[in-house]
């Protein structure tokens, strides 16, 4: 499906990928609110994917209306006692059950503080759980490279070494007479330090015998993935392309691409690309990108938006459930901390506000990742789910984080905020959210 559908229409494909991604994330988020609310004894009147006119609806045995609406840009759960999807209090409905303790307990605003807090927090938590599970599943099913490094499937490259060259199943012991270190060795720069050459000499173990065979540069200028909304994707570069020359100068390693882009000064580059036996010429201009650093700062670098890969897919082995789960937790936490760092650096002016994407940018990224395969698209859903869960925890009225701030106030003060003040704060929160949406949309269109 992911190989065929992009051929029909670029715009329709982008829209379809965006709607699939956002609908999955919204459904998980709202289901978190719904199911935890139900466990806490709070009745849900409506569970909606989308806003506006209802396209489909059904009522379950608990009296909850499940519906799909025409504007699939979000969703909501309207609990008993809510006046609107933002959980504003319905004074009339609350007054009607004020003399019935059991009916009052089933409303959002009549439930104990702990039940309301758990119900509200469940949405972002479910987003994080979705991300962790996806990262876990990808790591567990894909596996980790076997140590010592063993050749899996050879990638399609311009060079051909015949039957006497590197082949599937070879266990690589040394390259150009230098022993290959353990893949788990910290700070391993062995592969990137190899000399840029059209071929290398590999010492391998094959069928129990040690042989010396020739093979391609282990980190060739192979495009393994194209970054969404980048110069490369705008120029039509695809995953699987091999860059054979830049401005007429032959290259053999991916690091040569990085050096040429970094040294371009932002000037246009002419790339010669090998694609499934054909040679094409592509011109593109590197773009300045703010990249996060290990210490939490950002560094501006010139990039064209491609990710490299090895000359072959390494044979893998299952990492173990615990290792894959820890990896899922680490990936999710890395996105959260990276988002916090990026937001802080945008606010203080260290990096451009253009790093904030809106719905158009997210839609373009969805289409780009979907066109690169199911695994890339699923991975993107995990990243986006974490981001949406994180944003919903912002202490802004009308967001989940804003409600949690109100509940924290109630826990300290012993009473909820005044209804009038709540309405004003909700309007302020909605104004902030709409302003942020307009600002991010302007970034999508003009940055």
Cis peptide before 156 (omega within 30 of 0): no
Is the dihedral angle over the CA atoms 71, 76, 82, 87 positive or is it negative?
negative
Closest among 131, 236, 214 to 170, alpha carbons compared: 214
> Which residue shows structure tokens 């901390």?
337
Q: If you write DSSP's letter for every residue of 334-399 in order, what string do you get?
A: HHHHHHHHHHHHHHHTSS-GGG---HHHHHHHHHHHHHT-HHHHHHHHHHHHHHHHHHHTSS-TTS
DSSP helix/strand/coil, 172? strand
Specify whether 153 is catalytic: no
Token pair in block for residue 389: 């869960």
Please name which of 403, 406, 405, 411 lies closest in space to residue 86, comparing C-alpha atoms. Answer: 403
User: How much is the CA Rg of the chain, to the nearest whole Å?
Assistant: 26
Burial class (CB in 10 A: 0-12, 13-18, 19+), 388: buried
DSSP state of 5: G
Structure-block tokens of residue 266: 């932002």
Contact assessment for residue 38 and residue 4, using Cβ atoms and an 8 Å cutoff: no
Residue among 30, 153, 168, 281 flagged as catalytic: 30
Catalytic residue list: 30
């Amino acid at each position: 499906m992911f190989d065929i559908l992009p051929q029909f229409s670029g715009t329709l494909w982008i829209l379809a990928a965006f709607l699939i991604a956002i609908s999955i994330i919204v459904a998980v988020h709202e289901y978190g609110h719904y199911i935890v609310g139900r466990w806490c004894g709070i009745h849900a009147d409506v569970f909606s994917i989308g806003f506006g006119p209802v396209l489909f609806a059904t009522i379950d045995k608990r009296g909850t209306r499940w519906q799909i609406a025409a504007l699939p840009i979000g969703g909501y759960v309207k609990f008993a006692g809510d006046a609107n999807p933002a959980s504003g209090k319905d004074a009339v409905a609350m007054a009607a059950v004020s003399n019935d303790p059991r009916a009052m307990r089933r409303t959002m605003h009549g439930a104990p503080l702990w039940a309301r807090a758990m119900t509200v927090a469940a949405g972002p938590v479910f987003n994080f759980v979705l991300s962790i599970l996806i990262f876990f599943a990808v790591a567990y099913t894909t596996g980790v490279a076997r140590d010592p490094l063993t050749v899996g499937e050879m990638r399609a490259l311009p060079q051909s070494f015949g039957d006497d060259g590197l082949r599937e199943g070879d266990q690589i012991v040394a390259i150009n007479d230098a022993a290959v270190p353990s893949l788990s060795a910290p700070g391993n720069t062995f592969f990137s330090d190899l000399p840029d050459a059209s071929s290398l000499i590999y010492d391998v173990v094959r069928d129990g015998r040690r042989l010396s065979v020739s093979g391609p540069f282990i980190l060739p200028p192979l495009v393994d993935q194209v970054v969404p909304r980048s110069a490369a994707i705008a120029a039509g570069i695809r995953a699987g392309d091999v860059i054979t020359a830049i401005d007429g100068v032959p290259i053999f390693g991916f690091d040569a691409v990085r050096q040429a882009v970094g040294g371009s000064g932002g000037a246009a580059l002419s790339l010669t690309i090998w694609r499934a036996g054909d040679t094409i010429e592509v011109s593109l201009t590197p773009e300045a990108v703010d990249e996060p650093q290990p210490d939490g700062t950002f560094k501006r670098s010139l990039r064209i938006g491609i990710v490299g890969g090895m000359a072959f897919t390494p044979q893998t082995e299952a990492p173990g459930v615990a290792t894959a789960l820890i990896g899922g937790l680490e990936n999710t936490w890395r996105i959260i901390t990276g988002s916090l760092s990026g937001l802080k650096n945008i606010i203080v002016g260290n990096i451009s506000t253009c790093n904030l994407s809106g719905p158009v940018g997210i839609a373009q990224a969805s289409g780009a990742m979907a066109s690169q395969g199911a695994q890339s698209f699923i991975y993107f859903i995990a990243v986006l789910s974490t981001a949406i869960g994180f944003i919903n925890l912002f202490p802004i009225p009308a967001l989940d984080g804003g409600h949690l701030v109100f509940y924290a106030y109630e826990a300290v003060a012993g009473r909820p905020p005044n209804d009038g003040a709540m309405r004003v704060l909700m309007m302020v929160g909605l104004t902030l959210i709409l302003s942020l949406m307009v600002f991010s949309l302007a970034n999508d269109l003009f940055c």
